């Protein structure tokens, strides 16, 4: 079963909710497609919605009862283009393979230049979190 924490951007607001219908949180985002605007939101979402405790990564929405505990050695990637997300587990297969857990940071399409700036910085921040904690 995969967990999805969604962030939908509309009318200048970002709404964070879960696939399972949990409560939503709205954040003001006037320039969600600009790297300098989306990066702090993405890093904050990863910090808020993921925890590392020894050999376990926990993925949870702040307002949901759904929590996923995964081994720290699980493969992961940052996906950017049609949106921005952190995908954990089962990411090396075909597009048919769903990740074990996914933190969706933005569903707004991001251009190649924005992705080239944002994706490596998000990946570096998550890698540092894995090593640090």
Containing 38, the helix (H) or strand (E) segment is: helix 35-49
Q: Is 52 exposed, middle or buried (0-12, 13-18, 19+ CB in 10 A)?
A: middle
Is pLDDT at 46 greater than 90 in this prediction?
A: yes
Spell out the domain ranges in the chain: 3-132
For residue 5, what pLDDT is reported?
45
Residue of 12, 122, 117, 34 whose CA lies nearest to 78 = 122
Q: Is the pLDDT of residue 79 over 50?
A: yes
- pLDDT at residue 92 in the model: 61
CA 37, 42, 44, 45 torsion-angle sign: positive
State the number of CA atoms in the 13 A half-sphere of 68 facing the CB: 23
Based on C-alpha coordinates, what's the Rg of the chain? Answer: 14
- Say if CB 3 and CB 101 are below 8 A apart: yes
Give the containing element (helix H, strand E) for 77. strand 76-80
The segment with the largest mean pLDDT, out of 28-42, 51-65, 119-133, is 119-133
Tokens representing residue 106 in the block:
């933005």
Q: How much helix, strand and coil, in percent to the nearest 5, is found in the chain?
A: 25, 35, 35
Q: What is the pTM of this model?
A: 0.69
Angle among Cα 100, 83, 12 to the nearest 5 degrees reads 125
């Amino acid at each position: 079963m995969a967990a999805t924490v969604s962030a939908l951007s509309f009318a200048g607001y970002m709404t964070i909710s879960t696939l399972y219908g949990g409560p939503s949180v709205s954040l003001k985002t006037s320039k969600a497609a600009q790297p300098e605007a989306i990066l702090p939101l993405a890093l904050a979402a990863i910090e808020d919605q993921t925890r590392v405790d020894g050999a376990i990564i926990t993925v949870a929405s702040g307002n949901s009862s759904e929590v996923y505990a995964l081994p720290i050695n699980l493969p992961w990637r940052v996906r950017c283009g049609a949106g921005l997300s952190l995908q954990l587990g089962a990411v090396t297969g075909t597009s048919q393979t769903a990740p074990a857990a996914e933190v969706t940071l933005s569903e707004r399409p991001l251009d190649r230049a924005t992705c080239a700036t944002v994706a490596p910085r998000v990946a570096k921040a998550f890698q540092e979190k894995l090593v640090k904690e």
